Amino acid sequence: MSTLPALNDDELAELGRTVTGVPTARIGDVRVEVVDYPIGTPTTAGLYRVFGTADGVGWSCFVKQLQSVRHWEFLGMVPEELREEFVQNLPWQLELAVHRSNLPELLPDGMRLPATYRIDLCDDDRGTLWMENITPEPGPWPIARFERAAYLLGRLSARRQPHLVDPLLPRAGVTTPGIGLRYYTGGRVMRNAIPALAAPETWKNPMLAEAVDNLGDHTLRDDLLALATRLPAVLDALDTLPQCYQHGDASPQNLLVPQDCPDEFVVIDWGFDCPQAVGFDLGQLLIGLAHAGELSPEALPAVHKVILNAFQTGLAEEGMQVTEEQVLYGYLGSLCARATFTALPLWEPATPALFEQRVHLTRALVDLVSPVV
């Protein structure tokens, strides 16, 4: 975790006045808290909340420290011959580009970005984004919230077709359909996950073996490997579908529902800034909470049906004409490539309970995507 860059007294006063909207406010004591949240993205260096007072009234902001992957503490785990390509293919400036773009004009009613208070850039490929501190509504997502999120994601996707908009962060090759998913799949999935799933030693892990036994799912390995043989054809098929610039990581964790505005989504952590097959965003919407252990795998079929229909409704309302089969394949083909082979906790601290939950989730994903892809 990096250290939050210090602001001098004048900068802190300006920040507090920007947050409160009171240009003459007197700023009191300010304190910083480290956000206790596992960071899974190499371009995120640190997360913080800043609290202060202005004329005796409390204010706060959320701070995200960004970095080039060349500063990532685990870069040494990437094979040396692949490191520079890895650094170049994970653009750390994307989130800054989001907050400097016209994206707010494209978001449908019911979606917005967090307010941006300050952006600091350093010449060593680091930056800090100071933005609105959202207090999310507590508790699980009801099915109606999944439905509304999918509907709005459909509208957003239709508004961000390649002939209508450009990438948020222009760079070489970024307009190639599916380039981001292909890079991710070629590395984490084909180079790491599938060989691990194929290795008999993996399935001798005591916690994994116990979870498989408890669920009686002794065909899971064979089913995963059979699905893996279809992955190259899946990627080819995805590239032939209608394409959109979508959110890229539309899990519920990145669609914040403010406590004081439960019908609104504050959208954060955009990714995959390249054209993807229509329906791409539904994959993360479906499994984000299940992957975190906050939604039972048994709930996925019901959520799947609701979000597929709602997404199509959103597309149609924006005038994008696609078939149900195209959306379904774009959604489940992308989900197959991105999440099905990496759901087992082979690369993270795990417990027997986590292994059992993820074996259950992996089976649900295999059963969902296999009939389509």
Per-residue pLDDT of 201-234, as tens digits, reads 999 999 999 999 999 999 999 999 999 999 999 9
pLDDT at 209: 97
| pLDDT > 60? residue 131 | yes
Burial 233-256 (b: 16+ CB within 10 A, else e): ebbeebbebbbbbbbbbbbbbbbb
Residues 277-309 have pLDDT tens digits of 999 999 999 999 999 999 999 999 999 999 999
CA distances from 215 to 175, 345, 365, 366 (A): 43, 16, 15, 15
How many residues make up the chain in this entry?
373
Q: pLDDT band at 1, cuts 50/70/90?
A: very low
The mean of the pLDDT values for the chain is 94
pTM to 2 decimal places: 0.95
Give the per-residue pLDDT at 65: 94
- In this structure, the dihedral spanned by the alpha carbons of residues 83, 87, 89 and 93, taken in order and rounded to 10 degrees, is 170
| Alpha-carbon span 280 to 247, nearest angstrom | 9
At 100, the amino acid letter reads R
For the cut 70, the answer to whether the pLDDT of residue 83 exceeds it is: yes
Between residues 123 and 361, which one has the greater pLDDT? 361
- Per the CB < 8 A criterion, the answer to whether 64 and 39 are in contact is no
pLDDT band of residue 22 (cuts 50, 70, 90) is very high
Average confidence (pLDDT) over 25-44: 88
How confident is the model at residue 111, as a pLDDT?
Answer: 98
Query: Could you give phi then psi for residue 204, rounded to 5 degrees?
Result: -90, -5
Q: What is the DSSP letter of 298?
A: G
Residue 207, token pair as written in the block: 């916690």
CA atoms 73, 35, 247, 132: torsion sign: negative
Give the C-alpha distances (Å, rounded to integers) separating 285 from 65, 226, 253. Answer: 25, 25, 9
